[in-house]
């Protein structure tokens, strides 16, 4: 008897179902634009929020009492894995993601850490082959331990940089052996709290060197998945170097890694950066660095990373319009980097949170599909840029004309272009009118 055994497996029952423990929209086999809904979404449960955290916050300890709560011993790590894979299977989500620190007992030394990780890797390998649940990505926790208070790759002390290298090598190799499809690097404390004590240039150079080492090692061991940087503008540090997608792309270019490294975009991190999620997604595709998604939402009135489960499909529809138009996430997926509220102490809250989040994503995909099938938005947008398809537009974009040539041409043609409507309200109404179920 597991803690989850009263519920599940969760099934698709359709929009008329009143069963809290059923999908109303997420029918994984439903074909959307030639591909199954489940294959567009590649749903992923985050180990840390759902199986390693206890509901604590800055003002009080954990509130969720689970059989696996408390300090992690190796035995508890195994019990945690049993519970986690039972939940994944009952929920019907095909992937999971984890940090090294989520799954192993705290270690006093690096060799002990590596040894603990190897033991849990063996447990995970067995679970993966028994259940068919796959690893979307692995990552190293380089931010919780006090040694990382001043960062990992950007730490003023090279010994910390070296310790972090030891941790990353171990979990990257574990991720590879477990068939992980990506490897994620969120810049936990790669940033600063005050510039007064910070050598910004040195720290960025060190971060670039670290990333190059990770990429070199990935190739050495034959890991085929992409390395993904996860942008976030601040928290825990006052300024995080991987601020947003554009900042990450500039950093990758500077270090010659723009063809090697992609991004893992998190909804709540975009919100904190004062950017729309669809902006981050669209920018990543435009730069050719779209990797994967951390799905959650912030709170409109809180200025921090509340990591709530999503529940508003219309908010997510513009991002899905872009994702569907771009052909999907490839090796990426939708990882619920989202946590229950501190008062949500019941184990069933975990089901409700994921089911609602999954149905919300499914609604966004179906709404975006409807927009695409209607063709109206694409037609309007194409018409808006039609001038660039004319010989005149192509000549300008082609790069042959100088500024002076073009200035003379504008006079010769007697150009006097007038403002045309951007029709924002019409575009917005198309999104609203195509909301599904
Ligand atoms: C923190 C965050 C992390 C990363 C993985 O804001 O999003 O959980 O996703 O380290
Ligand atoms: Co995240």
Does the active-site annotation cover 176?
no
pLDDT value of residue 276: 98
Give me 346's structure tokens. Answer: 């019941």
CA distances (Å), origin 304, targets 6, 247, 299: 35, 20, 8
The pLDDT tens digits of the residues spanning 69-127 come to 777 788 888 889 999 999 999 999 999 999 999 999 889 999 999 999 999 999 999 99
Give per-residue pLDDT as tens, 345-403: 999 999 999 999 999 999 999 999 999 999 999 999 999 999 999 999 999 999 999 99
Q: Residue 155 in 3-state DSSP?
A: coil
Q: Is the CB of 278 under 6 A from ligand 1?
A: no
| Domains present along the chain, CATH in parentheses | 11-374 (3.20.20.150), 377-433 (no CATH)
Q: 334-336 and 43-46: which strand pairing?
A: parallel
Q: What is the mean pLDDT of the chain?
A: 97
CA-wise closest residue to 231 among 268, 201, 204:
268
Any ligand 1 atom below 6 A from CB of 305: yes
d(CA 194, CA 184): 26
User: Is the previous residue joined to 236 through a cis bond, with omega within 30 degrees of 0?
Assistant: yes
**Parallel/antiparallel/unpaired status of strands 191-192 and 182-186:** unpaired
Cis-peptide into 147, omega within 30 deg: no
pLDDT band of residue 41 (cuts 50, 70, 90) is very high
pLDDT in tens, 211-235: 999 999 999 999 999 999 999 999 9
SS3 category, 417 = coil
Decide whether any atom of ligand 1 lies within 6 Å of the 139 Cβ.
yes
| Nearest listed ligand to the Cα of residue 232 | 1
Indicate whether residue 27 lines ligand 1 (CB < 6 A): no
DSSP state of 308: B
Residue 334 and residue 296 in contact, taking contact as beta carbons nearer than 8 Å: no
Question: Which residue, judged by its Cα, is nearest atom 4 of ligand 1?
Answer: 186
pLDDT at position 430 over 70:
yes
- The residue whose C-alpha atom lies closest to atom 6 belonging to ligand 1 is 305
CA of 262 to the centre of ligand 2 (A): 14
Tokens of 62: 């954990």
Shortest-distance ligand to the CA of residue 186: 1
* pLDDT band at residue 68 under the 50/70/90 scheme: confident
pLDDT (mean) for 245-262:
98
Own/partner long-range contacts of 196-199 (Cβ < 8 Å, ≥24 apart): 199/156
Element (H, E) at 324: helix 313-325
> Is the distance from the beta carbon of residue 42 to the nearest atom of ligand 1 less than 6 Å?
no
Catalytically annotated residue among 27, 49, 100, 102: 102
Active-site residue, 242 included: no
Residue 404 CA to ligand 2 center (angstroms) comes to 49
What is the rounded end-to-end Cα distance, in angstroms, of the chain? 36
pLDDT at 1: 66
Q: Whose CA is nearest to atom 5 of ligand 1?
A: 186
CB 249 within 8 A of CB 228: no
Catalytic residue (choose from 49, 99, 243, 255):
99
pLDDT category at 67 given cuts 50, 70, 90 is confident
Peptide bond into 378 cis (omega under 30): no
**By percentage, how much of the chain surpasses pLDDT 90?**
93
Percentage of the chain modeled with pLDDT above 70:
100
């Amino acid at each position: 008897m597991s803690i989850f055994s009263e519920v599940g497996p969760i099934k698709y029952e359709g929009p008329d179902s009143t069963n809290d423990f059923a999908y109303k929209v997420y029918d994984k086999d439903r074909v959307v634009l030639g591909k199954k809904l489940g294959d567009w979404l590649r749903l992923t449960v985050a180990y840390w929020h759902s199986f390693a955290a206890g509901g604590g916050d800055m003002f009080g300890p954990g509130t969720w009492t689970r059989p696996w709560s408390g300090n992690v011993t190796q035995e508890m790590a195994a019990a945690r894995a049993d519970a986690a894979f039972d939940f994944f299977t009952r929920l019907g989500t095909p992937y999971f993601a984890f940090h090294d620190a989520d799954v192993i007992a705290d270690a006093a030394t690096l060799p002990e850490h590596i040894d603990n990780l190897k033991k849990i890797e063996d447990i995970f390998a067995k679970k993966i082959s028994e259940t068919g649940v796959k690893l979307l990505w692995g990552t190293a926790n380089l931010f919780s331990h006090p040694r990382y208070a001043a960062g990992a790759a950007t730490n003023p002390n090279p010994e910390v940089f070296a310790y972090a290298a030891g941790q990353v090598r171990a979990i990257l190799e574990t991720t590879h052996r477990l068939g992980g499809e990506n490897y994620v690097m969120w810049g936990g404390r790669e940033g600063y709290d005050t510039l007064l004590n910070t050598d910004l240039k040195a720290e960025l150079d060190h971060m670039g060197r670290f990333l190059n080492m990770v990429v070199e090692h990935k190739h050495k061991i034959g890991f085929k998945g992409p390395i993904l940087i996860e942008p976030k503008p601040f928290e825990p540090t006052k300024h995080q170097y991987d601020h947003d997608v554009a900042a990450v792309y500039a950093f990758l270019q500077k270090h010659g890694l723009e063809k090697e490294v992609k991004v893992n975009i998190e909804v709540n991190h975009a919100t904190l950066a004062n950017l729309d999620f669809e902006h981050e997604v669209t920018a990543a595709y435009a730069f050719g660095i779209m990797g994967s998604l951390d799905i959650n939402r912030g709170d409109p009135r809180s200025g921090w990373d509340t990591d709530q489960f999503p529940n508003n499909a219309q908010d997510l529809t513009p991002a899905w319009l872009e994702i569907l138009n771009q052909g999907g996430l490839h090796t990426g997926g939708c990882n619920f980097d989202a946590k229950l509220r501190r008062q949500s102490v019941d184990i069933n809250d975990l089901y409700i949170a994921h089911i609602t989040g999954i149905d919300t994503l499914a609604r966004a995909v179906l709404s975006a599909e409807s927009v695409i099938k209607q063709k109206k938005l694409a037609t309007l947008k194409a018409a808006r840029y039609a001038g660039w398809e004319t010989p005149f537009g192509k000549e300008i974009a082609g790069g042959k004309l100088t500024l002076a040539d073009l200035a003379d041409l504008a006079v010769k043609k007697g150009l006097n272009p007038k403002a045309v409507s951007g029709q924002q309200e019409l575009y917005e109404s198309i999104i609203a009118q195509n909301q599904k179920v």
